[in-house]
A and B are shown apart, each in its own frame.
Chain A
Amino acid sequence: MAAGTDVLSPPAPARRRRPKATRRRRDERRLAFLLCAPAVVVMLAVTAYPILYAVWLSLRRADLRFPTQSVFVGLTNYTTVLRSGLWWQAVANTLIITVVSVAIELVFGMVIALVMHRALVGRAAVRTAVLIPYGIITVVAAFSWRFAWTPSLGYLPRWLHLNGDPLTAHASSLAIIILAEVWKTTPFMSLLLLAGLALVSNELLEAARVDGAGAWQRFTHVIVPVMKPAILVAVLFRIMDAFRIFDNIFILTQGSNSTQSVSILGYDQLFVGLNLGIGSPVSLLIFVIIAIIGFGFIKGFGAAAPGMDTGR
């Protein structure tokens, strides 16, 4: 977008007030809309249509295995989902995983970002090393975790002197899922925070030091406030991501021992149960929750949504 505007309009401030320039602006605006139109049409086709179709399906009994029984059932599917213990168990699991993993990631991510920022030697090597977990395919990493935690195959239960298989109980399974999430996405968090750290100018820190601020005070009163937009964006991204957690659970437990997340529950209804009428409300409820989280962050904390200009 930025590059396109530069090419099309190098308007000198002096010419802007002339009526001719206004007309030219209007033409440009029309051209801009025309140029956007294909993208808008494609977006409507690939996002708006499926969402509306899901809404329609969610109001019907629509089971692929019983095509003749398809009828309009109103909001029955929603009440079925909202009354189901499985749904609330999945919501609870997802919230626990989201809150705990994002909190740990934020702390670790900040520590690693500070280390990377301060690293004097081998900066590139440190950054590469930190990024390795994020570069490994989630499914592969999840399999490694699963084998590592399986007694007789893996080493972790032996090191920790565990009796039994930690992936067969609810609490320990959730803990391992969170561990796998944290291990994998802390690098992402630290990279986003590192970008934020670059906003903190050395003069500011020097001034704070001259005023007698200690290391912790400089962190809480200078670094964090300046970095706030970056922190909020990082946390928002990770919450939205973590709330949709799927692959780690799919490999580690398949949702057994009541470890389903909302995404796993939706997948089970749609792809295993083939019950589109029940699966669609689950997907739509996930969509609504994510939307609320996003809006809450932008309105409540003033986090910048991608594309919004905060610099000005």
Chain B
Amino acid sequence: MPERRTTGVVARLAMSLLLVTITVGCASSQAATGNTVTFYIFNEPGGSFQRAADTCTQAAQGRYHIQLALLPSGADGQRQQLVRRLAAHDPSIDIMGMDVVWAPEFAEAGWIRAVPDDIKVQVTRDGTLPAALKTATWKKTLYALPYNTNTQLLWYRKDLVAAPPATWDQMISEAVALRQQGKPGLIEVEGAQYEGLTVWFNSLVASTGGRILDDDGNVAVDGTSRQAADIIRRLATSPAADPSLSNTMEDQARLAFESGKAAFELNYPFVYPSAQKDVPALARVMAWAPWPAVNPNTPSHVTIGGINLGVSSYSRHPDIAFQAAACLRDADNQKYAAIKGGLPPTIASLYRDPALRQSYPFADAILQSLRDASTRPLTPAYTNVSLEIQSALSPPSHIDPPKVPSRLDTTLRDAIASRGLVP
């Protein structure tokens, strides 16, 4: 008998749980209709996304209500969740924070809407950086609103080197010389088999004057790929390479530089506030310079990063979603995200703002780098392209530079047609 009583209790408990779930489910789906606009983006610990959502909701005076929904912290995880739901025509997504490389893929698959003309005029008139706009454009149509951007700088120890090296050759030989003197001389750069390796290669190819795909998305690999691969290999096989190079991502590079064993680091600006917090003594001798060039007389073209805001094709109210997205990325919200979240703005004039310059002492270097920036290959099959590049360059110390152009030519042709397996 006691057993039966327990079963009854369990059954009742389960039943009530089920009811609660159903009621909660109804409640949330009710909230999602009406004028609520959901905004899917990763968590920015500084709270700038939530603040932007709140201020825009207030300013809208009841026209819409922005609800923040958090995605995973890694770009791959974000994309996987979004594409899975978009492919299933999920109507609960309105605005998406999209990595700069996703627009062609999402647009070609029909998952995002073209930006309406009135919003497009606003964005193009407010001085948004051309490179950022380019990443949001596919087949001459603007599909997303540039939100924030990012670019790498060269970070170096001014107690070890008098002046920053202008080229990769200089940097490698200076680093090797430091190592030979028994000083910290490593170069920290992202060499793991992941997106960061594609970024490094793309910056080198662009700085050499070449490109990987042309404007129509066709393979345009030439001798510049060999030069780029040669630089990566030369660094990887020199004493200036970190032993963990082929496992180094942005954060490992930051930690290694903070540990004091490196003289140079190629990384995004988040490393500067981080060093100030973690190792103040080292931060005092930490300086920045433009990303090294390949040829002494031509500036480098560093790969642009960042987030664009897109509106889902399956959104129930695209009009207010675009209005909300335009508000989320306005100058005030971009400035706040830049200062609190460390996300550089896409509106060029903000780089002259005194408050922003206070937390971005390197604002001019970033703006210059962004003006000269290169984009990663714009193609719907970007993921395949990037994976093939990473695979061809891994591990960096085993690259055979003369073979890189022909290998990439073959594998990238398959990649842009999504033929074969992705590595």
A interface with B by C-beta (< 8 Å):
63-67, 80-81, 84, 86-87, 150-153, 163-165, 167-169, 254, 256-257, 265, 268-269, 271-275, 278, 282
- Complex Cα spacing A269 to B380, Å: 15
Of A65, A164, A257, which is within 8 A of B418 by CB?
A: A65
B410 within 8 A of A: no
Q: Which residues of B contact A65 (CB under 8 A)?
A: 105, 108-109, 380-381, 418
Q: How far is the CB of A283 from chain B (nearest CB, A)?
A: 13
Could you tell me if A272 and B80 are in contact, using CB atoms closer than 8 angstroms? Answer: yes
Asked if B355 is an interface residue, CB under 8 A from chain A, the answer is no
A66 B259 Cβ-Cβ under 8 A: no
Question: B87-100 CB contact bits vs A (8 Å, 1 = yes)?
Answer: 10000000000000
Complex interface: chain A residues within 8 A of B135 (CB): none
Given A150-B244, A254-B194, A272-B387, CB of A67 within 8 Å of CB of B110: yes
Q: Say which residue of A151, A271, A273 sits within 8 Å of B384 (CB atoms).
A: A273
> B420 near A: Cβ within 8 Å?
yes
The 6 closest A-B pairs by CB, nearest first: A256-B193, A168-B246, A273-B422, A165-B244, A64-B87, A164-B243
The proximity string for B residues 365-403 relative to A, scoring 1 for CB distances below 8 Å and 0 otherwise, is: 000000000000000110110010000001100000000
Contact (Cβ within 8 A) B394 A256: yes
- B243 A87 Cβ-Cβ under 8 A: no
Instruction: Determine which of B105, B244, B395 lies in contact with A152 in the assembled complex, contact meaning CB atoms within 8 Å.
Output: B244
Across the interface, name the chain B residue whose C-beta is closest to A273. B422
In whole angstroms, what is the CA distance A164 to B110 when docked? 46
Known: A257-B395, A272-B422. A67 touches B109 (CB 8 A): yes
Residue of A nearest to B81 (CB): A271
Q: List chain B residues, Cβ under 8 A from A265.
A: 421
Contact of B122 with A by CB under 8 A: no
CA distance A7 to B376 in the complex (A): 69
Minimum CB–CB distance for B196 against chain A, Å? 12
Using a Cβ cutoff of 8 Å, how many contacts connect chains A and B?
Answer: 88
Question: When the two chains form their complex, are residues B421 and A84 in contact, meaning their CB atoms are under 8 A apart?
Answer: yes
Contacts A152-B256, A268-B422 given; 11 further ones with Cβ under 8 A? A65-B105, A65-B109, A67-B109, A151-B243, A167-B247, A169-B395, A254-B194, A256-B193, A256-B194, A273-B383, A282-B421
Please, could you name 23 A-B residue pairs with CB atoms under 8 Å apart, sorted by A?
A65-B108, A65-B109, A65-B418, A66-B109, A67-B110, A80-B421, A84-B421, A151-B243, A152-B255, A165-B244, A167-B247, A256-B194, A256-B394, A257-B395, A265-B421, A268-B423, A269-B422, A272-B387, A273-B384, A273-B387, A273-B418, A273-B421, A278-B421
Interface of B is mostly: loop
Nearest-CB residue, chain A, relative to B415: A273
Residues of B within 8 A of A152 (CB): 244, 255-256, 259, 261
Q: In the complex the two chains form, is A86's CB within 8 Å of B80's CB?
A: no
Complex interface: chain A residues within 8 A of B80 (CB): 271-272
By the criterion CB–CB under 8 Å, are A80 and B244 in contact? no
Judge whether B83 is part of the interface by a CB distance below 8 angstroms.
Answer: yes
A215–B133 alpha-carbon span in the complex (Å)? 77
Q: How far is the CA of A165 from the CA of B71 in the complex (A)?
A: 32
B420 touches A80 (CB 8 A): yes
Residues of chain B within 8 A of A256, CB atoms compared: 192-194, 394
Which residues of B have CB within 8 Å of A273?
A: 383-384, 387, 418, 421-422
User: Do the beta carbons of A269 and B246 come within 8 Å of each other?
Assistant: no
Question: Chain B residues with Cβ under 8 A from A84's Cβ?
Answer: 420-421
Distance in Å: Cβ of B312 to nearest Cβ of chain A: 15
Chain A, Cβ-Cβ closest to B194: A254
B215 on the interface (CB 8 Å rule)? Answer: no
Given contacts A67-B110, A271-B80, A272-B383, contact A86 B105 (CB under 8 A): no
Contacts of B194 in A (CB 8 A): 254, 256
B193 touches A66 (CB 8 A): no
Interface pair B83/A165, CB less than 8 Å apart: no
**Which residues on A sit within 8 Å (CB–CB) of B395?**
168-169, 257
Taking a contact as CB atoms under 8 Å apart, the answer to whether B108 and A66 are in contact is: yes
| Complex contact A165–B109 (CB within 8 A) | no
Per the bound structure, the CA–CA distance linking A272 and B194 in Å amounts to 12
State the Cβ distance, A162 to closest chain B Cβ, in Å.
9
Q: Identify the interface centre among A65, A268, A272: most chain B CB within 10 Å of its CB.
A: A65
B87, A66: Cβ atoms closer than 8 Å? no
In the complex formed, the residue of B with least CB distance to A86 is: B421
Q: Which residues in A have their C-beta under 8 angstroms from that of B384?
A: 273
Whether A63 contacts B243 by the Cβ 8 Å rule is no
B76 at the interface (CB under 8 A from A): yes
Once the chains bind, are A275 and B418 in contact (CB under 8 Å)? yes
Contacts of A169 in B (CB 8 A): 395
User: Which B residues touch A168, using CB under 8 A?
Assistant: 244-247, 395
Q: Are A254 and B193 in contact (CB under 8 A)?
A: yes
> When chains A and B are docked, how far (Å) is the Cα of A67 from the Cα of B380?
12
The reply to whether A66 and B394 form a contact with Cβ atoms under 8 Å apart is no
Interchain CA distance A271-B252 in the complex, whole Å: 26
For residues 273 through 328 of chain B, which have their beta carbon under 8 Å from a beta carbon of chain A? none
Contact with A along B409-423 (1 / 0, CB 8 A): 000000000111111
Give the residue name and chain of the B residue nearest to A69 (CB): B418
Scan residues 50-92 of chain B and give those whose CB is less than 8 A from a CB of chain A: 76, 80, 83-84, 87
**Measured between C-beta atoms, what is the minimum distance from A305 to chain B in Å?**
31
Q: CB distance A272 to B76 under 8 Å? A: yes
Q: How far is the CA of A265 from the CA of B246 in the complex (A)?
A: 21
- CB B414 to nearest CB in A, in angstroms, measures 10
Residue of A nearest to B197 (CB): A256
Within the complex, the shortest CB–CB distance from A94 to chain B, in Å, comes to 15
Can you name the residue of chain B whose Cβ is closest to the Cβ of A282?
A: B421
Q: Which of B110, B192, B243, B421 contacts A269 (CB 8 A)?
A: B421
Q: A152-B256, A265-B421 are in contact. Are A66 and B380 (CB under 8 A)?
A: yes
> CA–CA, A88 to B381, complex, Å?
24
